[in-house]
Amino acid sequence: MEKKITIAGFGGQGVMVIGQLLGYASCAAGKNALFLPKYGPEQRGGTASCTVTISDDEIGAPVSKQVDVLIALNQPSLDKFVDTVKPGGMILINSTLCNSNIDRKDIRLCAIDSDNIAYKIGSPKVANIVVIGAYIKVVGILTEEEMLEMIKFKLGKKVEFLEMNKQAFKAGMEQVVALS
């Protein structure tokens, strides 16, 4: 099994955090993972993206023209990367900032209102964790426990946000169940 995931959005939306958490959790689960960030000098508000490759075997090439999953946190990122998803792949969008009218009929679309869910939890900063919860539930490449453990390990230093991150993760998983 090898899965390539592109995560894209504005700087400040937690794009790199999503990629790092997926990579670290995959390695902790005994898989191979490669995290390839792509961002320029833009800083907060500019475009940022990363590709994560998760595999049971060694990973041969870090770059690929097509991915299995696109996680788009805003409309410009969706527009830019929609054609990179393989037929039969999936696009997971933040429906707060993305239009779900996608012309492709050869992919699966999952829309999560992550920004509004994060606001209800108490902070827009956890919208990326809502997205991780949705991704884990839909794809099943990692378990809930594996990802929660990595969230605690990587984001647990800010104790005031740890419980909020756990709530955000679970809300993302529950939102997917509600969509099914």
Q: What is the CATH number of the domain that holds 136?
A: 3.40.920.10
DSSP state, 73?
S
Tell me how many domains the chain contains.
1
Q: What is the pLDDT along the chain (180 residues), one digit of tens a residue?
A: 889 999 999 888 889 999 999 999 999 999 999 998 886 665 556 779 999 999 888 888 777 789 999 999 999 999 999 999 999 999 999 998 888 788 888 999 999 999 999 999 988 889 999 999 999 999 888 999 999 999 989 887 877 788 889 999 999 998 875 444
Q: What was the pLDDT predicted at 160?
A: 76
Per the structure, the complete domain to which residue 60 belongs is given by 2-179
Nearest alpha carbon to residue 47 among 82, 18, 83, 7? 7
Cα separation, 8 vs 93, whole angstroms: 10
Within 13 Å and on the Cβ side, how many CA atoms surround 74? 15
**pTM metric for this prediction:** 0.90
Q: How many residues does the chain have?
A: 180
Query: Got the DSSP string for 108-156?
Result: EEEEE-HHHHHHHHT-GGGHHHHHHHHHHHHH-SS-HHHHHHHHHHHHT
Q: What was the pLDDT predicted at 180?
A: 40
Which contiguous run of DSSP H or E holds residue 93? strand 85-94
